[in-house]
Amino acid sequence: MTKDTIRLQALAEITGRPREAIRNIQKSGDAPWNDADDFGDAGQRRYTGRHALALVIAEVLAAQGVSVTVIGETVRAHSLALDKFLDEIENSMPCTPRFVLAMSNAIEDPFTGINWEPVALYGAGTLDEVQSTILDGLKRVGQVQKSGNGDFEYRCVAGPSISLASIPEAYRLLRARAKAAGYVVDGRSIFKISDSEEAAE
């Protein structure tokens, strides 16, 4: 059951993320996957290609200035997009261009001033969905929304602020890093190169 998974040290080697950095985002609740769903109370965690891919996507978003907390929330919200991409890989299907979108608009609050409000994309991360979400963010600038009792107004004054990660490109980068570290990533499965060579014999 665990032959196609890896432990934390190998995950760090493949993704280029220090072990402590991965542990820290898990402890703080900012991991780009749902810890409770993926591991439960497991003492020895085993990681898949999906976890490794999520870490590379997180790295791409971090390089664009997205905070650790927003990255965790954003990648978790794109769970469907990651799963659809990995399903295509594992079923030898043509890969649809899919993206992880971290986007926010600046909202003027009468009490706290201007705050950046995240915009969630929960779909399959397709180009059409991303373009539509960005266009909606652009159209929102200048619009006013009243509070529930109508006493206050919240105005969208700027944005959208956009950071994007291509899932296929992150996967390509992951596979290259894994190969350099002596592993093969095939969808959700990860093998040591020596193990995969033995299986082929």
Closest CA to 15 of 174, 166, 165, 184: 174
Report the CATH number that the domain containing residue 82 is assigned in CATH: 1.10.1660
Instruction: Please state, in angstroms and as integers, the Cα–Cα distance from residue 165 to each residue in 50, 51, 78, 99, following that order.
Output: 15, 15, 11, 6
* Domain count along the chain: 1
pLDDT of residue 195: 58
Instruction: Name the token pair of 54.
Output: 């999520």
Of the candidates 27, 21, 197, the residue with the CA atom closest to the CA atom of residue 9? 21
Q: Distance between CA atoms of 131 and 139, rounded to whole angstroms?
A: 12
Q: What are phi and psi of 196, to 5 degrees?
A: -70, -30
The answer to whether residue 41 is domain-embedded is: yes
Is residue 175 assigned to a domain?
Answer: yes
Which residue range forms the structural domain that includes residue 27? 8-104+165-200
Please tell me the predicted confidence (pLDDT) of residue 201: 44
Confidence category of residue 164, pLDDT binned at 50, 70, 90:
very high
Task: State the Cα–Cα distance between residues 87 and 94, nearest whole angstrom.
Answer: 10
In a domain? residue 58: yes
pLDDT per residue over 95-151, tens digit each?
Answer: 999 999 999 999 999 889 999 999 888 889 999 999 999 999 999 999 998 887 878
Residue 6 has pLDDT above 80, yes or no: yes
Residue 112 lies in a domain: no
Query: What is the per-residue pLDDT across 188-201, written as a single tens digit (0 to 9) for each?
Result: 999 998 755 544 44
